[in-house]
Amino acid sequence: MNLHYRSLLDVSELMRTKRLSPVELTREMLERIDRLNPSLGAYYTVFADQALAEARAAESEIAGGAWRGPLHGVPIAFKDLYELGPTTCGSKLLADHVAEREADLVTRARVEGAVILGKLATHEFGLAAATLADHFPPARNPWDPDRTPGGSSTGAGTALAAGMAFGAFGTDTGGSVRLPAAFSGVVGYKPTSGLLSTKGVIPLSPSLDHAGPMARTVADAAALASIRPHPTLPPWGGGEVRGLRVGVPRDFWDAGDPQVREHVEAAIRALAGAGAAVEDLSLGFGVVQVMAIGYLITLSEAAAFHLATLRSGRSGYGHEFGLVLRAGLLVPGHSYVHAQNARAGISRRMTTVFESHDVLAMPTVGAFADPLPAGPRPLTRRISEQPTPQYTWLANLYGGPAVSVPCGFTSEGLPVGLQLMGRPGDDATVLRAAHAYEQAAGWRDMHPPRWP
């Protein structure tokens, strides 16, 4: 296998044992980014000189016996919502903005000795869907460059699927780490709320925002999550799922594309075949209700954050993002309170669900990657009583861990994601189940044929 498609932990081990030079690896990454990025648009900014300097420092330290840990010398990247050098949030509004500080997770990655390759494309401020008419060219899906890689962490999905980074940090307010993971055929992990710091990440909806790692394997994503300042993630061990109680809330995911359902059902059968105790259960609410609550909270909080800038008349917001902010201003206070109360009710229901189940299994999203639109989508596509079902919002509402892992391909050759969700604080069980499925399924070895 090409070096650029090896896992983060593989290259880390090669560097720890001095069989691979961090400088050579970083040079290969930079050369690949230079070659592929004009076609795929994963990166807004590449820190070539700085990355090579970090790689040389890592090489010297490792040669001297001072290996810092699994990220030492490993080339990774950050979504452009993290404060780190040029930080545009995918918006013309901040096209020339350079952050004066660094996000907590960036600082922590430096402490771990990671090599930071650059800043990755994003939907504007983590929400408005990318289009071909945007100020920044959109990231493209390596499995079909005419399609979106999913968002909002678009560049992370693209970079990982095309072998342009070994890991990435995205953000996830309603699925923005897991949706691009599903559409791009990689792994996205939204940890338990609060596990990874969001300090220094430009907010979208502070009560729902999460930082989350993306990678090509579950173990790599877990390694990235281990950089938080106060480790609380217990060892998640190997891939054994025998006896694991897997709930399948089919009343929650009765919508969506039949091809997606077919692959997810096959993945659930594989978990059962590996010894998990699988049973159907009812959550008592549907995906449209969950998305409605998530969006009411997100639109309201985003509108509050951006109101002063909107009022100032400063130009630069894209068409869709400007509209969703105004829609957020039309949500009355009592509706925001209802949404937060409904969220509390859902959290209580999930507490009950996880008394008798260890993880829930469902699709990440009931669709596969759309063609990139030529221009802004109508607002009725975003604010709709029949939205594309995104099963991701649930975990943001109750705060539990969730992982999207590849589970097959559509007849068009586009990836499909299986999502596993767990009880808050029990990230280890969700990672273990996802890893077990990943090992059994073998999708992790599939890479986009256009970018060998």
Q: Which residues bind other proteins (CB under 8 A)?
A: 285, 288-289, 292-293, 295-296, 307, 310-311, 313, 322-323, 326-327, 329-332, 335, 337-339, 341-342, 344-346, 378-380, 382-385
Given the DSSP bridges, would you call strands 75-79 and 115-120 parallel, antiparallel or unpaired?
A: parallel
Residue 317 beta carbon to other proteins: minimum distance, rounded to whole angstroms: 11
- The CB-of-300 to other proteins minimum distance in angstroms stands at 11
148 within 8 A of 372, measured Cβ to Cβ? yes
Tell me which of 12, 21, 152, 205 is the catalytic residue. 152
* Residue whose CB is less far from other proteins, 231 or 332: 332
What are the residues whose beta carbons fall under 8 Å from the beta carbon of 63, sequence distance 6 or more? 18
Q: Is 337 exposed, middle or buried (0-12, 13-18, 19+ CB in 10 A)?
A: exposed
* Minimum CB distance to other proteins smaller for 27 or for 326: 326
Between 170 and 328, whose beta carbon lies closer to other proteins?
Answer: 328
CA angle 171, 172, 178 (to 5 degrees): 105
The nearest distance, CB 318 to other proteins, in angstroms, is: 12
Active-site pick, 176, 184, 193, 205:
176
Q: Identify the active-site residue in 7, 12, 21, 79.
A: 79
- Residue 373 in contact with residue 131, Cβ under 8 Å? yes
Distances (CA, A) of 9 to 15, 31, 43, 166, 439: 10, 21, 23, 9, 15
Minimum Å gap between C-beta 287 and other proteins is: 11
What is the closest distance, in whole angstroms, from the C-beta atom of residue 123 to other proteins in the complex? 18
Which residue lies nearer to other proteins by CB, 98 or 344? 344
Whole-angstrom distance, CA of residue 252 vs CA of residue 393: 12
184 is catalytic: no
Q: For other proteins, give the closer residue by CB, 290 or 369.
A: 290
Residue 193 is among the residues annotated as catalytic for this protein: no
Least Cα distance to 134 among 149, 122, 144 occurs for 122
C-beta of residue 148 within 8 angstroms of C-beta of residue 107? no
* Whether 79 is catalytic: yes
Residue 45 vs 388, nearer CB to other proteins? 388
Rounded Cα distance between 303 and 137, Å, is: 25
C-beta of 238 vs 332, nearer to other proteins: 332
CA 49 to chain centre: 27
Q: How far is the CB of 398 from other proteins (least distance, A)?
A: 13
Name the minimum Å distance from CB 295 to other proteins.
Answer: 6
Q: Of 386 and 411, which CB lies nearer to other proteins in the complex structure?
A: 386
Cis peptide before 152 (omega within 30 of 0): yes
Question: Which residues carry out catalysis?
Answer: 79, 152, 176
